């Protein structure tokens, strides 16, 4: 094995990336730069790790991995935003409307 072989290796199939400080830094910065942000906790699945979706007042959103449920609630407390469990409350309508508007804008722009 060469000295750089370990760096070139691709991750094994079926192994997903875990949360890093870059993920939580992104979430914190995003939440601080927008108004009316709420967090929606998405549970771990066979395909993905636990994730958090942050949704602003206008429906703009971002999603990143987070270590676990406890880390999501800690982040919410640190940022002063509510954290909801998507299994219990689902996603806000404004998030779906924002995604639809963006898709329509992209379609018009590319036409």
What is the rounded distance in angstroms from the CA atom of residue 1 to the CA atom of residue 86? 46
pLDDT band at 18 (very low <50, low <70, confident <90, very high): confident
The model's pTM = 0.82
pLDDT band at 111 (very low <50, low <70, confident <90, very high): confident
For the chain, what are the domain ranges? Answer: 21-110
Q: Are 25 and 64 in contact (CB under 8 A)?
A: no
Which residues are CB-neighbours of 99 under 8 A, at least 6 positions away?
59, 61
Residue 36 corresponds to which tokens in the numbers above?
Answer: 């009316």
The predicted structure's pLDDT at residue 15:
55
Q: Are 62 and 53 in contact (CB under 8 A)?
A: yes
Q: Is the pLDDT of residue 5 over 60?
A: no
């Amino acid at each position: 094995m060469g000295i750089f072989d370990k760096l070139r290796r691709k991750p094994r199939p079926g192994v997903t990336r875990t949360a890093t400080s870059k993920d939580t830094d992104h979430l914190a910065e995003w939440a601080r730069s927008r108004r009316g942000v709420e967090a929606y906790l998405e549970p771990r699945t066979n395909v993905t790790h636990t994730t958090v979706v942050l949704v602003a007042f206008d429906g703009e959103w971002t999603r990143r991995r987070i270590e676990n449920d406890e880390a999501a609630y800690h982040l919410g407390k640190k940022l002063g935003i509510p954290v909801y469990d998507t299994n219990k409350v689902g996603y806000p309508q404004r998030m779906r409307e924002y995604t639809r508007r963006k898709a329509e804008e992209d379609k018009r722009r590319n036409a």
